[in-house]
Structure 1
Amino acid sequence: MFTVRLRKGKEKAVRQLHPWVFSGAIENVKGRPENGDLVSVTDNSGEFLAYGFYNSQSRVAVRLLEWNPEQEINDEWWRNRIRKSINSRRELLNDSTDTCRLIFSEADYLPGLIVDQYADFLSVQILTSGIEKVKDILLDELNKLVKPKGIFDKSDASARSHEGLEASHGKLSGINPPEFVTVKENGVSYNVNISEGQKSGFYCDQRDNRRIVAGHAVGKRVLDCFCYSGGFTLNALKNNASEVMSVDSSALAIETLKQNVLLNDLDSIKHIAVQSDVNKQLRKLKEEGEKFDVIVLDPPKYAPSRSALTKASRAYKDLNRLGMQLLNEGGLLATFSCSGAVDIASFKQILAWAALDAGKEVQFIDQLCQPEDHPVRASFPEGEYLKGLLCRVW
């Protein structure tokens, strides 16, 4: 096996079971491993630390898999990891929910593999060269365990370019999904466009938060920003909101949302769908003197890395300032960040700055996070990316 020897003093994170070795921590590489090849990682004295797969083109040069030197990483090792991940989600799938994340990359000890289940179909993202090399084994095990009608590849993320991989998109096994696959989440039905939809097709990481926010929507006027296919909107309408306005810049998202309102037999008279840039729409609503009782702000990732934090903080502050100004006295703001680089303490500070600029007082009444099918590994806190705050605004 090829060997990666670390610089002196760079072994601490590996001993603490962190799954990443950055290129700058490497002293030398024995042999010439190809991208995705298994390597043995040692400290500077040559003592074994862990096994992982290597990529010379990535800033994360080694993604660690196994810390037991006696454990061989073979076909059965990979299959066992798939089984553990899927079996841990069994209780989430029931008569009212047939969609969830089955495998969550590093959190499930499978770095660069994301698998989402949408009823009878699986959507897969393969984002690392190591997973790409064992793709056939993993797909075979997924077919055996889940028995889907089809597995669809959504590996077109920019992360693949950092690993020297080209984008990949299309059927991997079984049949192609129809234009829309109907799934259920907490008793609400959704038409999911797996092939053309954002990310893997649907944001199942907000499952619990949609239910929590809907609990505050009874009889209220709700504004759902960055609504996508309508997760927060549909739950609010189902929970007897007096009116819901949904805003998204994507024409496909708005059209899918309208279909989802009809799919659930919800009152379309109580729903207003607006295709627009959210920030422009918020300013327009302010000029028109509109007010809401509950506002949801669920923007895309503003800070893809720590280098983008300053710019992202300004964007989050401006967005939340606009939202606060549209709330009735004592209204609720459900605001989220899916940027892993923004921790909850920083997010609270951003909300405090936004409140000052808006001339508002804010109380944090609940702290929201990603659900159990998006676990956070103790040794990999970077996996905790989704955080939300439910705020009372005065």
Structure 2
Amino acid sequence: MRRETPIKIKANFVKAIQRGNPLIAKEAIININQLKEDVVLVNLYDEKNKFLAKGYYGKQNKGYGWVLSYKENEIIDADFFEHKLATAFELRKALYQDPSTTAFRVFNGEGDGIGGLIIDYYDGYYVVSWYNEGIYTFKEMIIETLIKVGNPKAIYQKKRFNEGGQYIEENDFVWGKEPEFPLIVKENDVNFAVYLNDGAMVGVFLDQRPVRKLIRDKYAKGKSVLNTFSYTGAFSIFAALGGAKTTSVDLANRSLSKTREQFEVNGIDYTEHHIIVEDVFKYFKYAVKKQLKFDMVILDPPSFARSKKFTFSASKDYKNLLKEAIAITETNGIIVASTNCNLFDMNKFKEFINQAFKESECRYELLETFSLPEDFKTLETFKEGNYLKVVFIKKCYAN
């Protein structure tokens, strides 16, 4: 059994922990000098030595660890992890049984009770993402549990944390029999070619599943769609299958071949669509100059991005990005505004939208809103974990 180090929590952080906030914040810890390299498990106490929770030490973003249990006598062992994983997998039972969707999240960090641990499922193959060194020390125990509970064909891992001062974002084959790549998975009967062995990103972001479906089923038919920051073109594929003509724009050189591949595995002639490798901000200027207008513009930028001439931060620059989109959206057209930035909430995001339309001297109507789908389980007590914000906006006439 691992040694458990006692940690004292400042009074103004106690209530948040008692209410179920699982993040152990650096500034909450009184005796922070107790957190040394050999420390993994910690017991949290208030200043009067009253037990609060049990967790582990692992630096991740603004946190210094995660709460695992509120039971003082609970043992963090193989049985603990088996219970957590089995419970999480049972919650996704309907997805496991749905032949139209074979790629989804089966374990979502603190939402499923273990912060820093993400597990995604791709048609029998699992990808485990470790977000700090603390949770990574349980690797062997968690992998063995996943083999027992998840019935995997194979397991891959992604290490996404600082190790010895170096940022680690690598992939490793861990267990099982490797598939041939690309591996073809389904999302609402649409094919995706994924590569579990190709760096940090596998080829599709699973959290936008309901948004893509809605675009295909309700908004795409007969429309011209601009998909910005398009990555491998997932939104474009769904729009095309819904009857749209699409233009995909991304700065990454490999977005061209990756997007073509996604069209091909769905039997779509990519030559009937535009796939452009270019800085999105430069493309906006080009579109204005050429007086291009689109029936739908999809904005799903990274929270932070840097090109040769421009740095984008969602928390500072999203309003201006929206103004660029408004300028090239047809009247009565749709803007799908999306962000995964957890530095602001949906209300603040809607303020950005309101400001952008006001400064563009246009009226608008909010049509649909989305946050994370149900397989991305979150906690009411940790709102930062529900990072996704998507709003469908109708551009109305000018003021």
Q: Structure 1 length normalisation: TM-score?
A: 0.91
Q: Matched residues in 1 for 2:60 and 2:70: separation?
A: 24
Q: Tell me which amino acid in the other structure corresponds to 2:66.
A: R
Change (3 A) 1:322 1:145: same
Q: Matched residues in 1 for 2:84 and 2:142: separation?
A: 9
Q: Is the 8 A contact 1:331 1:393 kept in 2?
A: yes
Q: Tell me which amino acid in the other structure corresponds to 1:282.
A: F
Q: Hey, what does 1:247 align to over in structure 2?
A: 249
Q: Is the 8 A contact 1:89 1:102 kept in 2?
A: yes
Q: Is the 8 A contact 2:84 2:112 kept in 1?
A: yes
**C-alpha RMSD over aligned residues:** 2.3
Q: Is the 8 A contact 1:152 1:176 kept in 2?
A: no
2:133 to 125, 129, 145: 129
Larger CA deviation: 94-103 vs 224-233: 224-233
Matches within 5 A, 1:19-168: 19-28=22-31, 34=37, 37-55=40-58, 59-93=62-96, 94-155=98-159, 157=160, 159-161=161-163, 166-168=168-170
Q: Hey, what does 1:344 align to over in structure 2?
A: 346
CA apart distance, 1:166: 4.8
Q: Hey, what does 1:257 align to over in structure 2?
A: 259
1:236 correspondence with 2:222: no
Deviations 1:337-364 (A, max 9, x none): 1101121111111112211332321111
Larger CA deviation: 71-80 vs 162-171: 162-171
Q: Matched residues in 2 for 1:95 and 1:339: separation?
A: 32
1:328 correspondence with 2:330: yes
Gaps of 5+ in 1: 304-309
CA apart distance, 1:268: 3.0
Q: Matched residues in 1 for 2:15 and 2:164: separation?
A: 25
Q: Hey, what does 2:13 align to over in structure 1?
A: 10
Change (3 A) 1:384 1:317: same
Deviations 1:296-349 (A, max 9, x none): 11111139xxxxxx9534421121111111111110111101101121111111
CA apart distance, 1:140: 1.2
Deviations 1:174-211 (A, max 9, x none): 23454421110000001112222554542010000001
Q: Matched residues in 1 for 2:168 and 2:223: separation?
A: 47
CA apart distance, 1:19: 0.7
- Aligned partner of residue 30 in structure 2, secondary structure: strand
Q: Tell me which amino acid in the other structure corresponds to 1:357.
A: E
Q: Matched residues in 1 for 2:60 and 2:285: separation?
A: 43
Q: Matched residues in 1 for 2:205 and 2:59: separation?
A: 32
Deviations 1:71-123 (A, max 9, x none): 22222001111111122112113211100011111111111111111123212
Q: Matched residues in 2 for 1:273 and 1:58: separation?
A: 35
- Aligned partner of residue 388 in structure 1, secondary structure: strand
Q: Structure 2 length normalisation: TM-score?
A: 0.90
Change (3 A) 1:210 1:41: same
Q: Is the 8 A contact 2:173 2:197 kept in 1?
A: no
Q: Matched residues in 2 for 1:313 and 1:281: separation?
A: 22
Change (3 A) 1:313 1:168: closer
Matches within 5 A, 1:253-292: 253-292=255-294
Q: Hey, what does 2:296 align to over in structure 1?
A: 294
CA apart distance, 1:233: 0.8
Change (3 A) 1:145 1:312: same
Change (3 A) 1:16 1:209: same
- Aligned partner of residue 363 in structure 1, secondary structure: strand
Q: Hey, what does 1:194 align to over in structure 2?
A: 196
Matches within 5 A, 1:207-246: 207-214=209-216, 215-241=218-244, 243-246=245-248
1:380 to 379, 382, 397: 382
- Aligned partner of residue 245 in structure 1, secondary structure: strand
- Aligned partner of residue 361 in structure 1, secondary structure: strand
- Quick one: percent identity of the two aligned structures? 26
Q: Tell me which amino acid in the other structure corresponds to 2:9.
A: L
Q: Is the 8 A contact 1:213 1:334 kept in 2?
A: no
Q: Is the 8 A contact 2:171 2:200 kept in 1?
A: no
1:169 correspondence with 2:174: no
Deviations 1:228-261 (A, max 9, x none): 22221111111112x1111111222221211111
- Aligned partner of residue 198 in structure 2, secondary structure: coil
Q: Say how many residue pairs are matched.
A: 385
Q: Matched residues in 1 for 2:304 and 2:288: separation?
A: 23
Q: Matched residues in 2 for 1:377 and 1:32: separation?
A: 26
Q: Matched residues in 1 for 2:313 and 2:233: separation?
A: 28
CA apart distance, 1:57: 9.1
